[in-house]
Homo-oligomer: A and B are copies of this chain.
């Protein structure tokens, strides 16, 4: 029926007559009959309309290149998923033909597990290598192990049996630079020499890192999580997860961490794991040829990345689910869990920290917490929220300044400057000089009898009594006070430097600096509460549970709660953060303090701005990311958002059977749209389907090359059968195979909240708007993002890509 209509219309236009709508001449009864007959006639009319889908068409006559994407374009999740199901059906139907096909189907079924296993193995191994190398290079700033150059400080002194436990850091095999060069270990000269060498190495590492990034792989800089979030939401950034990025990121990550800059390796490890996932997915056609399936592997890889970064497999899966992933089916959950476990086990076998744990700062506490302590925990949460909000604003302002001014053109100089300032300021203070992970470990660890840290110089320990229960809850000594001052300075230093560091052109993670800031603040609060409890143990608050000499306050727990709160404030993670920290402590007992702090931190942070740092960086870079967490709360309707607007030229549409190749090419060249709706005829405006610009271009080129008789004035038709043409006209070109005959449509009255929901949940790229069955306009993902930016009083032109 539709074909019939189309033919009449096209014929009448050929004769130059005014077009008439044929159905207008029919009465009610006939229209009704035709309506109810037509759909069956179509599906049973013996080839009038084939019963295969447009996808089957596409597979029957595959045109190379159709169905792929350009760089910086958004994928069509629905199409990708359909393609995958089609491939699956094909393999399944062939399965019984021969043993070879059966093996292929088995390989296909298992490739998902294989690729996540390989990804887990590689991520775990790379994490181990990075941990060991960063440790060694970090110690290189202070000295070398003369007996074995490849040992770091700790390993160097393991072999030594001359030292007592308390002086385990000092051994003759380990030589500081002053000892090596000046031959003396003490005195102002050697201090200056060590200071100089420390700065020298830090600058060298930083310089090398930024040069490598600049020359070989510009995508290797930053934490990578904003980009991975964008990629997982269905955006194409070619090379972002490639082998060069992987190699350079791995090397420069080690250099950047060793340079002493205020950054961590946890975020970049997620990027490294995703690179592994992407590279391994090229081994399996199921994943390499399907952008949606590839993203399942990437989700699993990001879980593996967090798993090795924090030694928290379950936390990694929840991180992938909560923070980075967009499309997360249950199958992916299971595979992510597997990848995270494999990676964790590989890392444990490598044992980079020598404690058979996955992280440096694994802790176990033995004392319970008391209800009153929730007050300082919540205060730490408030601090974390404030820090997060402040950091996001300050860092974004600085990054925007870097982008907009001339200043951003000298990344090497910037890195060197920041590294120099960091090294010069950091060296005098022992808490900033040491590795940030080690600092966190020291702050998390409670004062036990064997603890030699300055933080634990309580009076009883000074007297030589070292029984466990005597250590804590003692009056503090000048040692603790000076440690407090140094911690305060370290806190200010870390806060300032982290703002300027995150966004440099070196790999830089945020987790460790944020946790360090929180841990310092938490430890300070913890010691303060401890001393308060000691001096005022007869207050009604402390009376019941905190006797004199009893071990009632755990300052290490405060450090951990503070770390979680600050990380929560910056990233706005919730469940995954609590689970990650829970896996660090291993006790259900401390979940309540953690939750209280993380929740407070999130609420306080959200009061100043709902975006986490990753969303803020996504917006800064203008990536087309449609956040699943942010609710669309406005009352606009689809017709207010759709294009064309009032002042725009009319919507560029294609008619189904009366365009010539030349007209089609003119439409394509005169517009820059990525796709065009195909309609029955200009006067009826009834929608037939949607054709992508890329596919049309490829199809025309392909036809010109392969099919004879296709000229500029060849008729192009999207219908099942060619329109009736005059005898002398050239051979027509059928483009039905590239036509998407099931475009998504909404009515113009649809509230935008529903449209946004559809885009998010189905992963659409565009949606057509109709009114009472007629095509009115189109809404693309970019239109939605622009509209959302406009509604939030932001610059809608900041959405840069398609």
Residues of chain B contacted by A38 (CB below 8 angstroms): 771, 776
Residue pair B595, A28 in contact (C-beta under 8 Å): no
Chain B proximity mask over A735-764: 1 for CB below 8 Å, otherwise 0: 000000111111111110110011001100
B21, B754, B761: the one contacting A21 at CB < 8 Å is B21
**Across the interface, which residues of B come within 8 angstroms of A651, CB to CB?**
36
A688 to B757, CA, bound (A): 22
Tell whether, in the assembled complex, residue A89 and residue B635 are in contact, meaning their CB atoms are under 8 Å apart. Answer: yes
In the assembled complex, the Cα of A321 lies from the Cα of B328 at a distance in Å of 12
**A772 nearest CB across to chain B (Å):** 5
Decide yes or no whether A269 CB sits under 8 A from chain B: no
Q: Is A543's beta carbon under 8 Å from chain B?
A: no
For A23, what are the chain B residues with a Cβ–Cβ distance below 8 Å?
A: 21, 24, 683-684
Residues of B within 8 A of A591 (CB): 313, 341
A586 to B574, CA, bound (A): 22
With A639-B43, A686-B773, A771-B39 known as contacts, the answer to whether A750 contacts B742 (CB < 8 A) is yes
Beyond A579-B314, A650-B36, A762-B757, whether A751 also contacts B82 by CB under 8 A is yes
Across the interface, do B629 and A330 meet the contact criterion of CB distance under 8 Å?
yes
- When the two chains form their complex, are residues A89 and B592 in contact, meaning their CB atoms are under 8 A apart? no
Contacts of A742 in B (CB 8 A): 638, 746-747, 749-751, 754
Q: Is A637 a contact of B749 with CB atoms below 8 Å?
A: no
Report whether A575 and B333 are in contact in the complex, using a CB–CB cutoff of 8 Å: yes
Kindly state the separation between the CA atoms of A452 and B784 in the bound complex, as whole angstroms: 69
Question: Do the beta carbons of A751 and B631 come within 8 Å of each other?
Answer: no
Check B345 against A686 for contact (C-beta < 8 Å). Answer: no
Given known A82-B753, A629-B330, contact A28–B592 (CB-CB < 8 A): no
Q: Which B residue's beta carbon lies closest to that of A629?
A: B330
Given contacts A35-B774, A39-B639, A78-B754, contact A334 B683 (CB under 8 A): no
Q: CB distance B749 to A54 under 8 Å?
A: yes
- Contact of B18 with A21 in the complex, beta carbons under 8 Å: no
Compute how far the CA of A394 lies from the CA of B633 in the bound complex, rounded to whole angstroms.
51
- In the complex, which residues of chain B have a beta carbon less than 8 angstroms from the beta carbon of A682? 28, 31-32
A750 to chain B, nearest CB (A): 4
Cross-chain contact A687 with B773 (CB below 8 angstroms): yes
Nearest to A20 among chain B residues (CB) is B24
Residue A777 CB within 8 A of the other chain: yes
Let me know if A42 is at the binding interface, CB within 8 A.
yes
> What B residues does A81 contact at CB under 8 A?
753, 757
A747 pairs with B751, CB closer than 8 A: no
State whether the Cβ of A159 lies closer than 8 Å to any Cβ in chain B: no
- Residue on B nearest A21 in the bound complex, by CB: B24
Cβ-based interface call for A421 (8 A) = no
Does residue A644 face the partner (Cβ distance < 8 Å to B)?
A: yes
Number of copies: 2
Closest to A24 in B: B21
* Contact status B639-A42, CB under 8 Å: yes
Would A36 and B317 count as touching, CB distance under 8 A? Answer: no
Contact A777 B39 (CB under 8 A): yes
Given the complex, which residues of B lie within 8 Å of A24, measured CB to CB?
Answer: 20-25, 683
Determine whether A461 belongs to the interface, using a CB cutoff of 8 Å to chain B: no
Given A646-B40, A742-B751: A762 touches B773 (CB 8 Å cut-off):
no
Residue on B nearest A338 in the bound complex, by CB:
B595
A686: chain B residues at CB < 8 Å are 772-774
For A70, what are the chain B residues with a Cβ–Cβ distance below 8 Å?
none
Chain B residues near A528 (CB-CB < 8 A): none
CB pair A53–B637 under 8 Å, yes or no, is yes
A772 touches B313 (CB 8 A): no
Residue of B592, B640, B680, B754 touching A43 (CB-CB under 8 A): B640
Q: Nearest-CB distance from A657 to chain B (Å)?
A: 12
Q: Are A772 and B322 in contact (CB-based, < 8 A)?
A: no
Q: Mark A447-480, 1 if CB is under 8 A from B, else 0.
A: 0000000000000000000000000000000000
The answer to whether A685 has its CB under 8 Å from any CB of chain B is yes
Contacts of A592 in B (CB 8 A): 341, 345
Cβ of A51 < 8 Å from any Cβ of B?
A: yes
Contacts of A317 in B (CB 8 A): 575
Flag whether A99 is at the interface (Cβ < 8 A).
Answer: no
* CA–CA, A571 and B127, complex, Å: 36
Q: Which residues in B have their C-beta under 8 angstroms from that of A541?
A: none
Please, what's the 1-or-0 string for A756-790, where 1 marks a CB less than 8 Å from any CB in chain B? 01100110000000111111110000000000000
Chain B contacts for A55, CB-based, 8 A: 751
- Are B322's CB and A333's CB within 8 A? yes
Say yes or no: B680 contacts A595, CB within 8 Å: no
Complex Cα spacing A684 to B345, Å: 66
Q: List the 6 closest A-B pairs by CB distance, nearest first.
A: A686-B773, A21-B24, A742-B750, A24-B24, A31-B683, A741-B749
User: Can you pick out 17 interface pairs between chain A and chain B where the beta carbons lie within 8 Å of each other?
Assistant: A21-B21, A23-B24, A31-B685, A32-B683, A35-B685, A51-B637, A85-B631, A314-B314, A314-B579, A333-B575, A345-B592, A686-B772, A687-B772, A742-B754, A757-B762, A773-B773, A773-B774
Query: Other CB < 8 Å A-B pairs besides A85-B633, A741-B749, A761-B762, 19 of them?
Result: A18-B27, A20-B24, A24-B25, A27-B683, A28-B682, A35-B685, A39-B776, A53-B637, A55-B751, A81-B757, A321-B333, A330-B629, A334-B574, A344-B588, A638-B742, A684-B773, A742-B746, A745-B745, A773-B773
- Residues of chain A touching chain B, judged by Cβ–Cβ distance below 8 Å, are 2, 18-28, 31-32, 35-36, 38-40, 42-44, 51-56, 78, 81-82, 85, 88-89, 92, 313-314, 317, 321-322, 330, 333-334, 337-338, 341, 344-345, 574-575, 578-579, 582, 586, 588, 591-592, 595, 628-629, 631, 633, 635, 637-640, 644, 646, 650-651, 680, 682-689, 741-751, 753-754, 757-758, 761-762, 770-777
